[in-house]
Amino acid sequence: MKTAQTIAEVRQIVSDARTDGATVGFAPTMGGLHEGHLSLIDAARGECDFVVVSIFVNPTQFAPGEDLSTYPRSIETDLAACEARGADLVFIPSVETMYPRQAVTSVTVSQLTETLCGRNRPTHFGGVCTVVAKLFNIVLPDKAFFGRKDYQQLVIVARMVEDLDIPVEIVPCAIIRETDGLAMSTRNQRLSPVNRSQAVALHEALQSAGDQIREFHRPARDIITAMQEYIQANAPNGEIDYIQIIDPQTLQDVETTDRSLLIALAVKFPEARLIDNMLLDSAGQPQ
């Protein structure tokens, strides 16, 4: 496995791989790698000949007051994990490499960024789209692998790629969960033991919502109220940021549940804001 810190090195190594006929798979990350990230590397390994991982805590997707300075960083163990899972190249740029001067260009995706996480993090997806577009231009992958846990990010990146004709296939990958159901996240490690055990309520609320939809197709409003009550009772240290039931493509709220939909939520614990979701088909079966 190679590592590269500069854009020129990445371009050279990827171009050499392409000359040898390799297809290129890419898993962008911010490090603090867990099994969720490693499953993206596995998927890339399964579908492509040459696998690139990036590790870059992108400052432009954090607003002032968010957790940029405390975001978990673990580069040595991350590199060992990338190597163990068969990555060919890990790109670890510095902030100066990615943003050598005050940029006057950025990528803005409208509408899809204005709901869910975008409501309380209005600058977040602009930072994500801009850095992902830059990384795509540096790595030039055939396929890029994104987890469904960040469902809104996945839809936004896929739309950006379509609208800007970026020649990359976006491959969605399943949510990876801890044995008790909590969706894996780099931020989980910051939770106190009490809040870690309360955080299981997020997945439990989603599961129970899925059951209610499958069996009774109760209206979205009732399902959301039941989820709010469940989380308030079982995760009292968490403050609900949002619970929404939406169309999986447009991300707009839906009222009825006899259709394909996404149930998405974000809950803020004192140490970390957690998100999770569940995608259901029109029969209420998890996808």
Query: Which residues of the shown chain bind ligand PAF in the complex (CB under 6 A)?
Result: 28-30, 58, 61, 128, 131-132, 150, 153
Of the pair 61, 113, the CB lying nearest ligand PAF is at: 61
Least Å distance, CB 28 to ligand PAF, is 4
Task: Calculate the alpha carbon distances from 27 to 4, 79, 97, 173, 201 in Å.
Answer: 15, 13, 19, 11, 29
Catalytic position from the list 34, 37, 124, 203: 37
Least Å distance, CB 77 to ligand PAF, is 17
Spatial contact of 125 and 62, defined as CB atoms under 8 Å apart: no
Quick one: 132 exposed, middle or buried, by C-beta within 10 A (0-12, 13-18, 19+)? Answer: buried
Spatial contact of 198 and 190, defined as CB atoms under 8 Å apart: no
Least Å distance, CB 42 to ligand PAF, is 17
Least Å distance, CB 54 to ligand PAF, is 7
Of the pair 87, 132, the CB lying nearest ligand PAF is at: 132
d(C-alpha 273, C-alpha 195), whole Å: 11
Of the pair 145, 230, the CB lying nearest ligand PAF is at: 145
Quick one: 23 exposed, middle or buried, by C-beta within 10 A (0-12, 13-18, 19+)? Answer: middle
Quick one: 137 exposed, middle or buried, by C-beta within 10 A (0-12, 13-18, 19+)? Answer: exposed
Least Å distance, CB 11 to ligand PAF, is 19
d(C-alpha 54, C-alpha 90), whole Å: 6
Residues with Cβ within 8 Å of residue 88, at least 6 apart in sequence? 1, 2, 17, 50, 51, 52
Least Å distance, CB 109 to ligand PAF, is 13
Residue given tokens 């850095």 in the structure block:
131
Of the pair 170, 254, the CB lying nearest ligand PAF is at: 170
Determine what percent of the chain falls in helix, strand and coil, rounding each to the nearest 5. 45, 20, 40
Spatial contact of 74 and 31, defined as CB atoms under 8 Å apart: yes
Catalytic-residue membership of 37: yes
Of the pair 128, 274, the CB lying nearest ligand PAF is at: 128
Of the pair 27, 224, the CB lying nearest ligand PAF is at: 27
Which residues form the catalytic set? 37
